[in-house]
Structure 1
Amino acid sequence: MTAVHIARWDESDLDLLERLNAPEVRHHTGGPETDEEVLARHERYLRGPGPRSGFMFSVALPDGVKVGTVGYWERIWHDEQVYEMGWAILPEHQGRGLATAAVRAVVAEARAERHHRYAHAYPSVDNPASNAVCRKAGFTLLGETEFEYPPGQLMRSNDWRLDLTA
């Protein structure tokens, strides 16, 4: 299995977030954000748990090189309080199982919270890599759905669910 280390988001992670704000990374999530939006996202991540921030982590290789982000946050889905999970890996590090390893690590964090039964992920139906991450990380595909992301835009997504009590 591919080894990664996840660490709570900190001030030094702004550069990583800026590098992840590339068209090839943000293709399935509404495209790159403005510099102001990236900085606002970084500030939310630093503040920690709260609306649109949740528990965010940098993803690093065993040698400490930061390669991506992973996290989870609360949301209401079908009248139920759940966690939503999301991730991104720099293009030069994709295809090596790093996202799957990072998601497994963050699932362990969410399980330890013992706060919600389910975690969901909503990758675009047109994003085979993120859908494969969900499958490999043990999520169950519930089907296609319309999902609002970025705010104000509907996208066709798959609804993947993981039972955190299992």
Structure 2
Amino acid sequence: MTDVALVPWSADDLDLLRRANTPELMDQMGGPETDEQVIARHARYLRLQAEGTAHQFRIMIPGHPEGVGMVGYWNHEHAGAPAFESGWSVEAEYRGLGIAPAAVAVMLEVARASGEVLPVHAYPRVDNAASNAVCRKAGFTLLGPLEFEVKPGIVLHTNDWVHDLAPNPSTTT
């Protein structure tokens, strides 16, 4: 596994969010945001983190304390039941090094260690081979295709992947 560390999102991470505001990374969200929208999203991450309804992290690798990407999970409803949704992005020059699957795996460990037991879903586009591979490598189970509204009016043809955080009854005593 690639050596990654996750640091809870902080006020210092605005530049990381700005670097992630590229046409390629924001493709699934309707395109890049204005700087005002990025600032508002950063404030939302900080607020939701403080409220405990979302957990966003800076992905660090050796030699890059500024971060090379982000990963997180937040409250979500799936098929009428409480769940978490997860998402991630890694800057272009660091892709293909195993950073995203390692960061997602660490994020799942952090959630489990925090006592979370809800299922964690990820919704990469069906045609996003890299993100679907991240789900597979991080131990998610493919449930199948799903039309997923990422923002009002923006519906994507995605795969629905799930990772169960609940303890396995056969391994607990």
- The alignment's TM-score, normalised by the length of structure 1, stands at 0.93
Matched with 2:17 is: 17
Matched residue SS, 2:31? coil
Identity %: 49
Displacement of 1:102: 0.6
**How far is the alpha carbon of 1:27 from its aligned partner?**
2.1
TM-score, structure 2 length as denominator? 0.89
Gaps of 5+ in 1: none
Q: Secondary structure at the match of 1:49?
A: helix
Contact 2:49 2:55 in 1 (8 A): yes
Measure the CA separation in 1 of the matches of 2:152 and 2:59. 25
Q: What whole-Å deviation, never above 9, does each CA across 1:85-138 have from its counterpart, x for those lacking one?
A: 100000111111100011011101111232333110001111111000000000
Aligned to 2:54: 54
Number of paired residues? 165
Map 1:1-166 onto structure 2 (within 5 A).
1-49=1-49, 54-63=54-63, 64-165=65-166, 166=168
Distance 1:46 1:5 in 2: 19
CA RMSD of aligned residues (A): 1.6
**In the superposition, relative to structure 1, how do residues 151 and 113 fare at CA in structure 2: closer, same or farther (>3 Å)?**
farther
Bigger radius of gyration, 1 or 2?
Answer: 2
